[in-house]
Amino acid sequence: SFTLLTPRQQVTSTPYAIRSANASSADTATNATNATNASTATNATQLGGIAASQYVQTNDSRLSDARTPTPGSSNYIQNTASAQASSNFNISGNG
């Protein structure tokens, strides 16, 4: 569909609205480090080298599946008076 312009109106170009001679290379970028939208870039499906499917998503049931911490459960850190023999948190860094 189109709109007929009557009386005829001259169409003018917008300044700098020409396509750069090298712009076609940006259509299929293989490395788009600073691109705002890199949906077809080689690394667009990864974040920091990790596949996007490996990240927890907002609809992941583990974010909203509340569980009561039961005493003695191996799923939680237990607050006891004695040291846990098999505990090793491997914490490092400056936090």
The per-residue pLDDT for range 21-72, each reduced to its tens digit, is 666 666 666 655 666 665 656 666 667 777 777 777 777 776 776 767 677 7
Question: At 47, phi and psi to the nearest 5?
Answer: -130, 110
CA angle 17, 19, 20 (to 5 degrees): 120
Overall size of the chain counted in residues: 95
Query: What residue ranges do the domains of the chain occupy?
Result: 13-63
- In the DSSP assignment, the letter for residue 19 is P
- The pLDDT of residue 69 is 67
- The pLDDT of residue 33 is 63
- pTM tops 0.75: no
- The pLDDT of residue 14 is 67
Q: Is 20 helix (H, G, I), strand (E, B) or coil?
A: coil
Q: Is 54 helix (H, G, I), strand (E, B) or coil?
A: helix
Higher pLDDT, 9 or 22: 9
